[in-house]
Amino acid sequence: MGWWGKILDWFNQEPAMPFSLDPEVPPIKVKGKGATGSYSPGAQEEAGTTGESEQGSSKPGILQKVGSFFSRKGKGDEGARGPAPEEPSVAPDLDKNLLTVRRILHTDRNSDVIIREFLLPVGKGIRAAFVFIDGMVNLRAVNADILRPLLDPDFAARLARGLAAGNVEKLFPAAATTLHDSMRKVVTETLMGNLALFVDGLGKALVVDVKGWEKRPISEPVTERVVIGPHEAFAETLKVNITMLRRILRTPDLICELLEVGKVTHTQVAIFHIEHITNPRLVNEVKRRISSIKASYVAESAILDQLIDVPRFWMVPHAVLTERPDRFAGAVAEGYVGIMVDHSPFGLVVPITIADFFSSAEDIYLRPPAPTFLKLIRASGMLATLILPGLYIAAVTFHHEMIPSVLLQAIAASKEGVPTPTPLAVFAGELGFDFIREAGVRVPSPVGPTIGIVGALLIGDAAVRASLLAPVTVIIIAVTAVASFTIPNQDVATLVRIFKYVFIVAGSTFGILGIGLLLYVVGVYLCSLRSFGVPIVAPVIAGGPSARDVVARRAVWKMEHRPRFLRPEGIRRQPPVSRTWTLARPLRPCKRK
């Protein structure tokens, strides 16, 4: 195929379908050619590297080629070691096994790998050894529940019988024991804090759960503090987090599926959903994306978040990041899919919608209309952060005619004698504020607030006194700064702070036209985003009562539907009359006879 053919091919490629939660898109009859273009998930997987490439945005062929090019190149450095040509399996010979383990775990250099060889006191003695990583296991449990019984002749005798009968895993007084014959699996389990027991002649390894490392206890949430509601946050340990969820959602339908991600980290990822509520297409898509990740380092939810988004999402968060079990559980109960990553105190909730940019954990605990009001405040805070500096520049440098005369009188007077051009002044002011903010985060906490006060008060006041900034400019910067703190979602807040500068540039070049056009582009761009098949503007545009709840929350007993844009299997959250006591006959005072 020549270059002309390639061009023709490019022109003739059908733009890929976006992933959709809709149950099915009916096939389209195309007359004449007889071709049918119907959608199926399988076809999509073939088509591209991303499941969600939108109309016209994907070039599967090219992308595939580029992808395969990189994967070829990356083979050398993708993991700790290249995949062995054959998966080593557990041999009957103990020495051989230990040699393999030593080789894989680099025991000549890894000093925390403990290999303890001993003799089972049966007959002449059977050679055995266990392997664990120091510090990751509960040593007391190892000594009391494993080593001591093994060295006890009675237990050893039973074990020998068990070895012969093939039910050795049932003999140990530990909660979870499994038999593995893949050496790689055994080593991975060891690295997770389990103990691997090799017995000469068994041909399998027994993995006993004796995990016990130092961990942070459950503490109060740091980023999502609330006044009303529970005060516990996720911890770093996946098991603890799963427990916390199970304690809230005590339904047998809560499914927690574990996947493993990361060539180096082998991180466990738990995917939560509720059977018969969550759309299975959504669950499958989440699983598909996570299981197909080929990255080497995935140790945190935030990293996973970036790995499961689509190209068009490169700036906007793709999942809600929360450290509150109640919020996480609430979302899962609504039909969202929750993702927990081991060693991360943050859970991911997908898909994200624009309402999540403005919602905080507390919203559900407040009585309406407070949540709606607060969301409005946050939304206007976001808008103010985004466009206020730009709008101010546009108004005072381009469109004097748009400022009311009496206001102009005040602004003009305050800007008198200030030599700094307004765009520069605003830009510098905003930059200065971002300095202060970043400095406040970096410096030790006792000094932090001081930095803020010194920076904001002293520098601002001094700049006004030195006629470097007009008081109005300082007000604008201060309002923007305060407004930027109203955005609950950290990712969005950062994004808005960055885009604020783009609006400043637009406002100082094309005035209000620039700002309007940029706002239009941002609007259409946001409308083009789909998070796991759900347009992120869905709550605003989708019809039905459920969508309204996301934007303007009603009383809890009035919210009868789950968000329809998730296409949940069970749309109804509660019966039309959830407070059945209202149906009962009202109590009347007894009539005295």
Partner 1 sequence: MRKPLACTVIFVFCTSTVSLCGCWGRLELQDTAFVVLMGLDAVQSSSGEPLPTSEAGLEVTQAIAISRALPSGRDGGGGRGPAPMVVLPMVAPNLTVAGESIEESVSRRVRTTHVEALIVGEALARQGLEDVLDQTLRYSNLRHTIHVIIAEGSARELITSLAPSIEVGPWTEARKAVQSIQGRVSNQLHLHDLLVSSSSKSKDAMLPMMRTWQEIAVGGGESAARPGRGPAITGVAVFKDATMVGKLDEVEAAHALMLHGSFRRAFMSYPLSASADDGVLSNRNLVGIEWDSVKAQKRVTMIGERAAINVNLDMEGGVMEARGDVDLTSPEGVRRLERQVAQSVRFHCQRVVEKVQREMAGADIFYFGDVLRTTFKTWDEWEKFDWPKRFQEAVVTINVTVHLRRPGLTLQNPWKLH
Partner 2 sequence: MSPSTHNLGYTETVALLAAYTGSKVFTSCPSQLVYLSSTSAWITAMLSVIPAALGVIAIYRFVDRFDGITFQRCVELTIGKPLGKMVGLGFLSLILGMDAIALREFSAGFKSAILPETPLNAIIVLGEAVTAYTATLGLEPLGRFIAIAFLPLSILLLAIVFGAFHMELSIAELFPLWGTGAEHTVLGSVQCSSLYADIFAFALLVPYVREEKAGQRLHAGLVSLGLSGLAMAIAIAVGMMSFTAPTLAQMLFPVLQLARLFLSGIFLERIEAIFVFAWLFFGSIKVAFGHWLAASLAADIIGVKRWTAFVWPSAVITYFLAIQPENLTDLFVFQVTVLRSVGWLVAYVLPAVLLGIAGLRGIGSK
The entry of partner 2, partner 1, none near residue 12 (CB within 5 to 8 angstroms by kind) is partner 2
The entry of partner 1, partner 2, none near residue 291 (CB within 5 to 8 angstroms by kind) is none
Interacting residues with partner 2 (CB under 8 A): 8, 10-15, 17-18, 20, 25-26, 28-32, 35, 37, 39, 54-56, 395, 398-399, 401-407, 510-514, 516-517, 519-521, 523-525, 527-528, 535, 537, 540-541, 543
In the complex, minimum distance from the CB of residue 423 to partner 1, in angstroms, rounded to a whole number: 8
**Alpha-carbon distance 512 to 91, whole Å?**
75
Piece in contact with partner 1 (CB under 8 A), picked from 130-138, 264-272, 337-345, 407-415: 407-415
Piece in contact with partner 1 (CB under 8 A), picked from 22-30, 224-232, 377-385, 418-426: 418-426
Nearer to partner 2, 23 or 123 (CB): 23
In 209-262, which residue ranges form alpha helices assigned H by DSSP? 238-248
Which pair of tokens denotes residue 406? 């009496």
Residue 179 backbone dihedrals phi, psi, to 5 degrees = -105, 135
**At 378, which helix (H) or strand (E)?**
helix 370-397
The entry of partner 2, partner 1, none near residue 411 (CB within 5 to 8 angstroms by kind) is partner 1
User: Are 357 and 493 contacting, i.e. CB atoms less than 8 angstroms apart?
Assistant: no
Residue 508 binds to partner 1 (criterion: CB under 8 A):
yes
Residue 524 binds to partner 1 (criterion: CB under 8 A):
no
Residue 398 binds to partner 1 (criterion: CB under 8 A):
yes
Piece in contact with partner 1 (CB under 8 A), picked from 74-82, 146-154, 409-417, 429-437: 409-417
Nearer to partner 1, 247 or 400 (CB): 400
* 369 upstream amide cis, omega within 30 of 0: yes
Q: In the chain, what's the furthest Cα-to-Cα distance?
A: 104
In the complex, minimum distance from the CB of residue 300 to partner 1, in angstroms, rounded to a whole number: 24
How many CB atoms sit inside 10 A of residue 252's CB?
7
In the complex, minimum distance from the CB of residue 363 to partner 2, in angstroms, rounded to a whole number: 21
> Between 325-334 and 238-248, two packed helices, what is the crossing angle to 10 degrees?
60
> Which 8-state DSSP code applies to residue 455?
I
Sheet with 267-274: list strands edge to edge.
Answer: 254-261, 267-274, 337-341, 347-350, 320-322
Residue 418 binds to partner 1 (criterion: CB under 8 A):
yes
In the complex, minimum distance from the CB of residue 14 to partner 2, in angstroms, rounded to a whole number: 5
Question: How many residues interact with partner 1 (rule CB under 8 A)?
Answer: 32
Nearer to partner 1, 292 or 509 (CB): 509
How many CB atoms sit inside 10 A of residue 371's CB?
21
Nearer to partner 2, 12 or 445 (CB): 12
Nearer to partner 2, 17 or 269 (CB): 17
Piece in contact with partner 1 (CB under 8 A), picked from 21-29, 101-109, 191-199, 416-424: 416-424
Coarse DSSP helix, strand, coil percentages of the chain, rounded to the nearest 5 percent: 50, 10, 40
Residue 501 binds to partner 1 (criterion: CB under 8 A):
no
Site string for partner 1, 310-329 (x = CB under 8 A): -xx-x---------------
Nearer to partner 1, 328 or 427 (CB): 427
Give whole-number Cα distances, 72 to 68, 78, 162, in Å: 6, 10, 47
Residue showing tokens 């009202």: 586
**At 374, which helix (H) or strand (E)?**
helix 370-397
Sequence-distant (6+) residues with CB within 8 A of 259 are: 268, 269, 270, 271, 287, 290, 291
Give Cα 397 to chain centroid, integer Å: 42
**Alpha-carbon distance 359 to 551, whole Å?**
9
Question: For every residue of 151-211, which 3-state class applies, written as one string?
Answer: HCHHHHHHHHHHHHHCCHHHCCCCCCEEEECEHHHHHHHHHCCCEEEEECCCCCEEEECCE
Site string for partner 1, 282-311 (x = CB under 8 A): -----------------------------x
Nearer to partner 2, 47 or 187 (CB): 47
**Alpha-carbon distance 39 to 372, whole Å?**
38
Nearer to partner 1, 219 or 509 (CB): 509
Residue 11 binds to partner 1 (criterion: CB under 8 A):
no
In the complex, minimum distance from the CB of residue 393 to partner 1, in angstroms, rounded to a whole number: 9
Residues contributing to the site for partner 1 (CB under 8 A): 57, 59, 311-312, 314, 396-398, 400-401, 405-406, 408-419, 421-422, 471, 505-506, 508-509, 511
